[in-house]
């Protein structure tokens, strides 16, 4: 599903290939016969209409009909819900044309033409808009239909179905009213199935329906087929703007100004006996991509029956036995459609008395593995070229292929649901505390369960196999860290009530205590009891093939954000060409180091701080050596310490409660020590830490911290070169620069240190100094900053926060969801780059930077580096690379290739 | 003092009038005789050199000499501290020229030429750089001087002074060493005054000095006058870059790349008997502006003696009795200089044996009242025109004239000092709590004393006569609110240790309890014990005259930020042309309303919220009527509720402690209620409230709050028009818009409400909807925002926070002071607009906004609206008005006039 919702890619390509609509017939302004249109006219005819037109055009058996265009719908709204002048006249002409082709006449009791009236917008909005079947029936034509087909039961069943749909959709009578009458009729006859009702029963039922309509809708059920038709057209137009349709479009980011087309088509009936039937099929298997028609059908049935699930449909292969000739014809049609559309098609068909009719064709939705296989196979089949294949796969879908998935066959009990924050599945025992998670993880797999996480919990996150939180959004701390580590995470599961003191959580009716097994699925957000078997991911040959093509096609580099050697290794395996962001703060959070870090923070003089920093230097050097070893020959950007120091200390709120308790209990022994800690925490407390003492500001106030880090980085590079003949290019990143003077002060100091370390060792290593562009001011004065910075890395998380004035941690839970629901924002700007605002300043920053230093290396390391739309933007503004979490590296590789291909196509189109 | 430090205005004007330096004599590249220069050459000759040159040029008696240019100094630094080639040759030629004029010869024992060597930068840096007097003396020439003057004591005293200065300044020997030797000599002779030492004593002392120099400086004291001169020149060059000089320039915002000139001038002596003397004088009284020479002198003395304060100088008027002829000559010189410079001059002079010599002239520093009086008087005297008069007064200095001042004659005991955050003086009893302040203020004047204030304390601030805090900076909450209200404030007084529980503070050795009287001076930052009488301000006729001229000259409008009718009245009195920002949140903070507001916040449904809002509507309507009455016929911008809701609730930290205490004490009665409050506070808690749920985001989530406010605004306008025939133009401001869709949602809702209120009342009133531009994104999409907004008001406080990524509340205390000390930032961007960053986006925003809506009204309402440099910027980018606190309205009026005049001058210069 996700694939089609987000398939801007595919749409965009189609648009670029689309030509102007063909001329319509003389005097036909608002309508078009199927035979007059083609597949490229989706804007005007909607998806369904364009499909019917195309199939008609290439000679496939489509029941005759015509489409009222989306322009008519838009005009209807422009005229304050008046039908466009001339529309009804055109409709009459079109119906006449259909009559000519079918030999039937609309409203003629002797041989009545019945039609379906269906909505059909440019993008599929399944179940959102309305359909009326069997239109044209009334008390006279129903008798004609009975005589003509020799099947009164069929005729009256069709009539009561029509009345029910029309009553509901057009007249606004509640569906239940009809169902109640139907149930009463069956009760009266002592039967349970609709099919057990006789023609007479059904005729009586239509009388009952007529009464219901008069009572509920305060009007008679219309007898005039033309009036029925006009009312149905209006109803379809109206259905474009129902609240549910608007909500659906907001959610799926479909524009509101497209309007819907209306398709009016001769009815065909799959329920006319054993040589009739109906079904749906895909030209290839949409789950696996196997090259074989895949679908199901029912004989003697209508489309509704397949959907309703009353009878179990049969696999399409069986049609070969039931109606061999029709099957052969259908298989040929499928092959033809696939060749014609050069893509997998999702086809609806009906067989009326042995004659095959096609009712719909559209691009088939498919799973991610199927998409990859189909794309690669079609290149081998010479149906499409490599560039087209690359455009066929939704980049974001690749991520799910790289994580373990739950065995779909395994039974499960889902007890709750949260946001699918980091894909993959994990089972483990529930632990509510980070420290305990570390202990228990030594022997068992662990799921860390917290209301929310913060940097204090990092060691617990490292130890756990997955994380579940009851608060926070897609970019909460838990979500970001888990994605960075490639660990499954379900966050913001509001139905999960966690009681930390009792060490248990309640979800639905289940209560889960610490130590009990659960499974979380970070791809769906589901929380399940017990351990559920998983399927390990495989990077199939097709994926690897596709990504190789992507690497050939793209010009944008792809690096990874990785803080640990294991992440770096993963990144490299997934094709990263370097590390775009190594955050050093996590290194300080690890259990054995945190106390030393805290000592450093509590120090009251530079000398004391330096003393505490000395052992950290050893740790850091080994950390960097580990990462450098994995990234041999590649660049590694290391960001100097960035977060505010209070993140390394306990939370003020907890300390306040603790100190108050100690004080009231008279526990003076601990009190003094905890009070001292509280005082320091209060000193460091900030109203808005995101805008506080962090980044290069720390380095300006406490230069000794940066100094230690730069020593560790260069010593690591030197030792590897000298002892293991491994070369890397460390790029030292000074964060949060907003004024060139900040960079100057820090850079001058650190340059001296770097030169000194190299001089002392006598081993020349290459290195660069650069900065993170994450403050609006930095974009505005990027030309000045580039005088010193050898590289820029856009920190788009913080840029988004400052340019919008949104605190990420607060916005998600407090108001951003409302913005998305109301359509104030089309996308979460923390997931997809805000091109109008953030992007504008990035473009300015990149341009100004290169104006001073043409060889400036410019990349992006925010969360957006793995978002396909954002990657495309980065390509467009000429960045050198994007950097994202290791598991999104393949996503970025493909997205970068698509960006380049689309650009070429656009250029080709302009030429 | 403040006047000269900040007198960019004056400087800029001078620069615009300056012409290229005159051609110097052939072959003279690095030096210039006084007679060759003029007043316009300050860049090249420094302030002192230009003054000496100008006086020489117009024929005043200046001892002959020459200036080594600032270019020579810069070249010295460019050459890594090598004297520019040819400099010493030029110096020799110049000395020869001086010899010719004086008849003395440098280093000639028979008639030695002695010179002073003084630094002289473009801008005065008093006491920062070095001076050597009596240079040219050695063991031979001192004898010659003794013979020539017939005064051996004089000669040896001059010699030992020279050795002492040269030793200290040039050779780096500690001053104390010489003082110790001098003290020993006096002890030995049993005398107490230097003057009691004989020639022989002084000669012996020079021997002692010689030994000290050899010992301390590891070199002989130079005998060769040329060597002395070269060393002195180097020392003056070096003194430009001493740490204290760099610090001084950072602090006073003087560029580091100007360099200093060196003035070498024939010595004249005021200590040669009763017809000799020395003094300093102003051509008018620098304290009052009275048109009368003002100064002091000493007979038989050198400049040093006046400074040292050993003898009490006499008022200049007495010179008429002592040396009538010299006095007349001096009075004529003063009149001539004033007419010549067309400004008050600060003159140094020496009388040697009845001959007057002028040693310096420069623009005289003056108090703010004097500056105004002198400027207005000089227009009447036709010395300058009105535009020049307007440029003569530092706009910022006007503010201090509008506040009560301490009687300078009253005795006082200063016990501490903080930042002078809001000018004016106030006395009152100390109160440590806002609630108590309200109670006590009913009967006595109160000074509210808090570690820091927050919005909870507003009612206390309203009740108090002044505020004192021990934390926070110039833009802390207390500082901003106090300035807004025009109340004196001293903030960030770190030496004041407040003990809230004991209700006392300790400052220095004084302990002050609640209820004791103190006085604070918000213009100096001083804290004094007891009540000190104040002088009420008077808007003198001169000030009013000057401001009238300013209003004629300026094109930029000036409005005021005012939240209460009394502030609006004050603003109008000071010349405001409307209200640029009325913050409605303070209205909710008042004692009787806060509980209702809290009820609204605690409400769990929209219905409950609406119920709580109803009584607030009544209050708000009356508030607005009050303000509108004062602002009759003028526009009033009212900002809809902006701050995060938790600002109206108690602090989470306090509640946590309280709830913990109640829990441990088993006080279940209160516990439940306080826990509920704590829960709500925790729900509303944000990590970065500045970037959280506030501004229009509140209105989007809780439209009923905005709705109530808009009703109140329009009902107020309607009732005033109908009942009191008062018309105003309410401009309703929607805050914190970053995306045009936010404005659309809020605007559509409120437009409907506004139209409805007017329709119901049947009274047409004019109103506008607009927005505050305070988020970077708003500047970037201002063209889209202006499609709906009828006005923009730049909220430069928040723009500065987001563009720099600086939390104002945190930056001040945590790192901004370090940035200013280190010169990373030249100015506090919260006080003076950052033109390179914030200004760039403002300019873009204003331009884009007007591109969509040419008649868009654009102003600024941040703290910067009252800062002269920022006002000039606002004029330059074409804003319609600035808005500032009422007491800064005159400042803004003058600054706006200066901006316009400077612009005209620049245009005139370009033509």
pLDDT per residue over B337-352, tens digit each? 999 999 999 999 999 9
Instruction: Report pLDDT for A587.
Output: 84
DSSP state of A239: H
CA-nearest residue to A698 within chain B is: B815
The predicted-structure confidence for A565-619, as pLDDT tens digits, reads as follows 999 999 999 999 999 999 998 888 888 889 999 999 999 889 999 999 999 999 9
Closest CA to B488 of B443, B527, B538: B527
The token pair at A328 is 């052969």
Residue A786 has pLDDT above 50, yes or no: yes
**B126 Cβ under 8 Å from any chain A Cβ:** no
- Element (DSSP H or E) covering residue B315: strand B314-315
**Mean pLDDT of all residues in B58-75:** 96
Q: Residue B195 pLDDT > 90, yes or no?
A: no
Token match 């029509």: residue?
A: A162
Q: Which residues of A touch B807 (CB under 8 A)?
A: 686-692
B278, B297 in Cβ contact below 8 A?
yes
CB-CB contact of B186 with B197 (8 Å) = yes
pLDDT at A393 over 90: yes
Rounded mean pLDDT, A724-746: 96
Residue with tokens 């005012």: B562
What is residue A836's three-state secondary structure?
helix
How does pLDDT run across A291-309, given as a tens digit for each residue?
999 988 999 888 766 655 5
Q: Across chain B, what does the average pLDDT equal? A: 90
CA angle A191-A192-A195, nearest 5°? Answer: 85
**Beta-ladder partners of B729:** B635
What is the rounded distance in angstroms from the CA atom of residue B621 to the CA atom of residue B716?
5
State yes or no: pLDDT of B312 exceeds 80.
Answer: no
Q: Indicate the burial class of A17 (C-beta count within 10 angstroms; 0-12, 13-18, 19 or more).
A: exposed
User: Does residue B844 sit at the A interface (CB-CB below 8 Å)?
Assistant: no
The residues, ordered by sequence, that sit 6+ positions from B666 with a Cβ below 8 Å of its Cβ are none
Q: Do A804 and B738 touch (CB under 8 A)?
A: yes
CA-closest candidate to residue A205, choices A166, A169, A163, A240: A163
Q: How many CB atoms lie within 10 A of CB A332?
A: 11
A651 lies within 8 A of chain B by CB: no
pLDDT the model gives residue A287: 80
Name the residue among A706, A718, A716 with its Cα closest to residue A742: A706
Beta-ladder partners of B356: B351
In degrees and rounded to multiples of 5, residue B332 shows phi and psi of: -60, -45
- ipTM for the predicted complex comes to 0.81
Position A455 pLDDT exceeds 80: no
**Residues of A forming the active site:** 477, 861
Q: How far apart are CA B816 and CA B805, in angstroms?
A: 12
User: Contact at 8 Å (CB) between B240 and B148?
Assistant: no
Q: Is B819 on the interface with A (CB under 8 A)?
A: yes
pLDDT at A694: 96
Q: What is the DSSP letter of B23?
A: P
Of A24-33, A69-78, B555-564, B801-810, minimum mean pLDDT range: A24-33
Q: Is the pLDDT of residue A372 over 60?
A: yes
Q: Which residues of B touch A776 (CB under 8 A)?
A: 776, 802-803, 805, 837, 841
Tell me how far apart the alpha carbons of residues B546 and B379 are, in angstroms, rounded to a whole number: 10
Task: Check if B403 is active-site.
Answer: no
pLDDT for residue A27? 58
What's B590-602 look like in SS3? CCCCHHHHHHHHH
CA pair distance A864, B886, nearest whole angstrom: 46
The share of chain B scoring above pLDDT 70, in percent, equals 95
> What's the mean pLDDT in B244-258?
81
Task: Determine the distance in angstroms separating the CA of A829 from the nearest CA of chain B, rounded to an integer.
Answer: 12
Residue A391 scores a pLDDT above 90: yes
A844 touches chain B (CB under 8 A): no
Q: Residue B753, Cα to own-chain centre: how many angstroms?
A: 46
- Give A747-763 pLDDT, tens digit per residue: 999 999 999 999 999 99
Chain B residues touching A748 at Cβ < 8 A: none
pLDDT bucket at B862, cuts 50 / 70 / 90:
confident
Told to judge if B874 belongs to the known catalytic residues of this protein, a careful annotator would answer: no
Q: A781 touching B, CB under 8 A?
A: yes
Residue B902 has pLDDT above 90, yes or no: yes
CA-atom Rg of chain B in angstroms: 33
Q: Phi, psi (5° rounding) for residue B854?
A: -60, -30
The set of residues, in sequence order, having a beta carbon less than 8 Å from that of A522 and lying 6+ positions away, is A403, A420, A421, A422, A423, A424, A425, A426, A466, A482, A487, A488, A489, A490
Q: What is the pLDDT of residue B739?
A: 97
* Least CB–CB distance from B692: residue in A664, A736, A807: A807
What pLDDT, in 10s, does the model give residues A618-666?
999 999 999 999 999 999 999 999 999 998 998 899 899 999 999 998 8
Residues 855-874, chain B, touching A (beta carbon < 8 A) = none
* Cα(B143)–Cα(B122) distance, integer angstroms: 38
Whole-angstrom Cα distance, residue A597 to residue A601? 6
- To the question of pTM greater than 0.90 for the whole model, the response is no
Which one of A777, A795, A807, A820 makes the best mutation probe of the B interface by having the most chain B beta carbons within 10 Å? A777
CA-wise closest residue to B482 among B454, B463, B453, B461: B461
- B266: helix, coil or strand? strand
Question: What average pLDDT score do residues B101-110 get?
Answer: 95
Closest to B416 in 3D by CA, of B524, B561, B572: B524
Q: Write down the pLDDT at residue B27.
A: 58
Reply yes or no on whether the pLDDT at A236 is more than 90: yes
**Residue of B671, B681, B805 to mutate, interface with A, max A Cβ within 10 Å:** B805
Sign of CA dihedral A756, A758, A761, A762: negative
> Which pLDDT belongs to residue B3?
38
Residues A113-125: tens digit of each pLDDT: 999 999 999 988 7
- pLDDT tens for each residue of B761-791: 999 999 999 999 999 999 999 999 999 999 9
Residue (of B706, B705, B704, B726) closest to B717 by Cα position: B726
Instruction: Please state the rounded mean pLDDT for residues A122-135.
Output: 82
* Choice between A153 and A286, residue whose per-residue pLDDT is larger: A153
Amino acid B15: pLDDT: 36
Q: Which two tokens stand for residue B785?
A: 């925002």
Q: Cβ of A592: how many Cβ atoms within 10 Å?
A: 9
Q: What does the pLDDT average to over B496-512? A: 91
Q: Whose CA is closest to A838, among A788, A776, A905, A884?
A: A776
**A111 versus B423: which is more confidently predicted?**
A111
Average per-residue pLDDT for chain A: 90
Of A720-734, B267-281, B470-484, the range with the highest mean pLDDT is A720-734
Which is nearest to A117 in space by CA: A283, A234, A289? Answer: A234
For residues A76-103, give the mean pLDDT: 95
Alpha-carbon span A690 to A694, nearest angstrom: 8
Q: Give whole-number Cα distances, B192 to B183, B187, B303, B344, B450, in Å.
A: 8, 7, 21, 41, 51
Q: What is the per-residue DSSP string for A127-172?
A: TTS-EEEEET--TTHHHHHHHHHT-HHHHHHHHHHHHHHHHHHTT-
Q: pLDDT at position A876, please?
A: 97
More confident residue, A266 or A683: A266
Helix (H) or strand (E) holding B234: helix B225-239
Average pLDDT on A96-112 reads 95
Mean pLDDT is lowest, of A322-331, A622-631, B526-535, B783-792, for B526-535
Rounded Cα gap, residues A855 and A850, in angstroms: 7
> Hey, is the C-beta of A739 within 8 angstroms of any chain B C-beta?
yes
At A484 the pLDDT is: 67
More confident residue, B18 or B129: B129
**Residue A22, pLDDT score:** 39
pLDDT at A460: 87
Smallest Cα–Cα separation from A301: which of A322, A328, A325? Answer: A322
B332 contacts B320 by C-beta, under 8 angstroms: no
Instruction: Give chain A positions within 8 Å (CB) of B840.
Output: 780
CA distance linking residue A738 with residue A732, whole number of Å: 17
Structure confidence by residue, pLDDT tens digits, B631-668: 999 999 999 999 999 989 988 998 999 999 999 988 88
- Asked if the model's pLDDT at residue B303 lies above 80, the reply is no
Q: Chain B within 8 Å of A687 (Cβ-Cβ)?
A: yes
For position B22, what pLDDT does the model report? 39
């Amino acid at each position: 599903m996700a694939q089609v919702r987000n398939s801007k890619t595919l749409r965009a390509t189609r648009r670029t290939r689309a030509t102007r609509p063909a001329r319509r017939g003389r005097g036909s302004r608002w309508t078009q016969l199927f035979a007059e249109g083609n597949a490229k006219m989706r804007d005007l005819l909607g998806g369904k209409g364009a499909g019917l037109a195309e199939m008609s055009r290439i000679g496939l058996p489509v029941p005759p009909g015509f489409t009222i265009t989306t322009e008519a719908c838009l005009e209807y709204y422009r005229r304050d819900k008046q039908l466009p002048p001339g529309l009804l006249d055109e409709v009459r002409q079109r119906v006449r044309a259909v009559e000519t082709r079918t030999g039937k006449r609309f409203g003629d009791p002797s041989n009545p033409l019945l039609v379906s009236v269906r909505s059909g917008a440019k993008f599929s909005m399944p179940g959102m808009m309305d359909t009326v079947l069997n239109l044209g029936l009334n008390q006279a034509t129903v008798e004609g239909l009975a005589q003509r087909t020799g099947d009164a039961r069929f005729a009256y069943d069709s009539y009561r179905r029509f009345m029910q749909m029309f009553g509901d959709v057009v007249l606004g009578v509640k569906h239940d009213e009809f169902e109640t009458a139907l149930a009463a009729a069956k009760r009266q006859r002592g039967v349970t199935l609709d099919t057990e009702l006789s023609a007479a029963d059904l005729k009586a039922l239509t009388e009952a329906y007529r009464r219901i309509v008069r009572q509920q809708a305060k009007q008679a059920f219309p007898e005039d087929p033309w009036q029925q038709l006009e009312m149905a057209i209006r109803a379809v137009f109206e259905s474009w703007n129902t609240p549910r349709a608007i909500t659906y479009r907001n959610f799926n980011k479909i524009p509101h100004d497209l309007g819907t087309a209306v398709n009016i088509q001769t009815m065909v009936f799959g329920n006319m006996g054993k040589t009739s039937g109906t079904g749906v099929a895909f030209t290839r298997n949409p789950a696996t991509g196997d090259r074989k028609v895949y679908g199901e059908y029912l004989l003697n049935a209508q489309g509704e029956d397949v959907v309703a699930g009353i009878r179990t449909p049969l696999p399409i292969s069986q049609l070969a036995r039931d109606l061999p000739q029709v099957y052969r014809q259908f298989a040929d049609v499928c092959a033809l459609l696939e060749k014609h559309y050069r893509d997998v098609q999702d086809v609806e068909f009906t067989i009326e008395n042995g004659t095959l009719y096609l009712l719909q064709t559209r691009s088939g939705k498919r799973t991610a593995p199927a998409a990859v296989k189909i794309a690669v196979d079609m290149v081998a089949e010479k149906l499409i070229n490599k560039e087209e294949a690359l455009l066929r796969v939704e980049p974001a879908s690749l991520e799910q292929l790289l994580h373990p998935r739950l065995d779909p066959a395994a039974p499960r009990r889902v007890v709750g649901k949260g946001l699918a924050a980091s894909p993959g599945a994990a089972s483990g025992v529930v632990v509510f505390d980070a420290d305990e998670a570390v202990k228990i993880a030594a022997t068992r797999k662990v799921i860390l369960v917290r209301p929310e996480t913060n940097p204090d919990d990092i060691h617990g996150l490292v130890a756990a196999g997955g994380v579940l939180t009851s608060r926070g959004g897609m970019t909460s701390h838990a979500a970001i860290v888990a994605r960075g580590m490639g660990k499954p995470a379900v966050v913001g599961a509001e139905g999960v009530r966690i009681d930390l003191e009792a060490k248990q959580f309640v979800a639905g009716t289940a209560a889960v205590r610490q130590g009990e097994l659960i499974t979380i699925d970070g791809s769906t957000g589901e929380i399940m009891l017990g351990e559920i078997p998983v399927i390990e991911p495989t990077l199939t040959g097709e994926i690897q093939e596709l990504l190789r093509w992507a690497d050939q096609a793209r010009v944008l580099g792809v690096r990874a954000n990785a803080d640990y050697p294991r992440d770096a290794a993963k990144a490299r395996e997934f094709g990263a060409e370097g590390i775009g962001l190594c955050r050093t703060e996590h290194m300080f959070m690890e259990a054995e180091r945190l106390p030393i870090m805290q000592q450093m923070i509590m120090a009251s003089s530079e000398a004391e701080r330096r003393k505490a920093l000395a052992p950290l230097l050893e740790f850091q050097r080994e950390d960097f050596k580990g990462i450098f070893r994995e990234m041999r020959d590649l660049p590694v950007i290391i960001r100097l310490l960035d977060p505010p120091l209070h993140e390394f200390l306990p939370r003020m709120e907890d300390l306040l409660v603790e100190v108050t308790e100690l004080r009231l209990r008279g526990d003076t022994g601990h009190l003094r020590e905890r009070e001292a800690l509280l005082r320091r925490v209060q000193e460091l407390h900030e109203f808005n830490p995101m805008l506080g003492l962090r980044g290069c500001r720390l380095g300006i106030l406490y230069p000794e911290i940066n100094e230690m880090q730069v020593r560790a980085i260069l010593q690591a590079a030197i030792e590897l070169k000298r002892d293991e003949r491994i070369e890397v290019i460390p790029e030292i990143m000074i964060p949060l620069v907003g004024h060139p003077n900040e960079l100057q002060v820090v850079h001058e100091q650190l340059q001296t240190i770097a030169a000194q370390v190299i001089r002392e060792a006598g081993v020349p290593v290459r290195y660069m100094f650069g900065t993170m562009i994450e403050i609006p001011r930095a974009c505005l004065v990027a030309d000045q900053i580039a005088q010193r910075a050898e590289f820029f890395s856009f920190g788009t998380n913080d840029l988004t926060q400052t340019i919008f004035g949104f605190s990420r941690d607060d916005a998600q839970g407090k108001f951003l969801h409302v913005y998305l629901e109301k359509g104030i924002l089309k996308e979460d700007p923390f997931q997809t780059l805000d091109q109008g605002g953030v992007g504008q300043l990035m473009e300015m920053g990149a341009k100004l930077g290169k104006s001073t230093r043409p060889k400036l290396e410019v990349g992006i390391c925010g969360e957006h580096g793995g978002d396909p739309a954002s990657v495309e933007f980065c390509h467009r503004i000429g960045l050198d690379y994007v950097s994202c979490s290791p598991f999104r590296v393949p996503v970025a590789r493909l997205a970068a290739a698509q960006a380049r291909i689309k650009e070429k196509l656009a250029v080709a189109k302009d030429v």
